[in-house]
Structure 1
Amino acid sequence: MLRVIIVEDEEIIRKGLVHTVDWLSMHCTVVGDTDDGQKGLQLIQQHRPDLVITDIRMPVMNGIEMLGQALKIYPFHSIILTSYTEFEYAKQAISLKVFE
């Protein structure tokens, strides 16, 4: 069973991902979710997930910073959600080996 953490500051999106995706059918379980990158970093350290799904722009710490710090401590896969079109975000995500 893959452990998943979701970090998204928009509650409706975060709760939607947690509660409407059929995680069990994909052999996954959501072990934590939160609304900012600093709390996300703490969850990653605590739960050591296999996958982190995160937004880029969030309060306290953005998703790129959170992933960069967390990947120095523990290896995991990541998916970034964003509606922003700035290419700089894409370059930073690629350097972190983000999937989407």
Structure 2
Amino acid sequence: MHELSITRSVVDAVCERAAGRPVLEVRVRVGILTSVVPDSMRFCFDLVTAGTPAEGALLEVDHTAGRGHCRACEQDFPMNDLVLLCPCGSFDVDVTAGQELQIVSMRVG
């Protein structure tokens, strides 16, 4: 379960930035193309925050949609998985959204 190591990294970064202050809420942005399961991340968050300044904090996960841009037909299109195929049939595609994994904000007490 890669969510455990990802969540641990998020909590480490948040606790470092909090500098000992209690963390009340953490908001992250997770792209659909990262294959991170939000419910698994929430479960891991409760485990990883135990004994840290973020213990008891709320984790909010904003899920972002996947988008691609075709260099052949110059069209933007939605992506639900990492099959890099434009509706026009071209494989000459750039992923433009959906691979984000960012700490957006945190609230400390």
Q: Give the TM-score normalised by the residue count of structure 1.
A: 0.30
Q: Give the TM-score normalised by the residue count of structure 2.
A: 0.28
Higher relative helix content: 1
Higher relative strand content: 2
Higher Rg = 2
Higher relative contact order (CA 8 A, sep 6+): 2
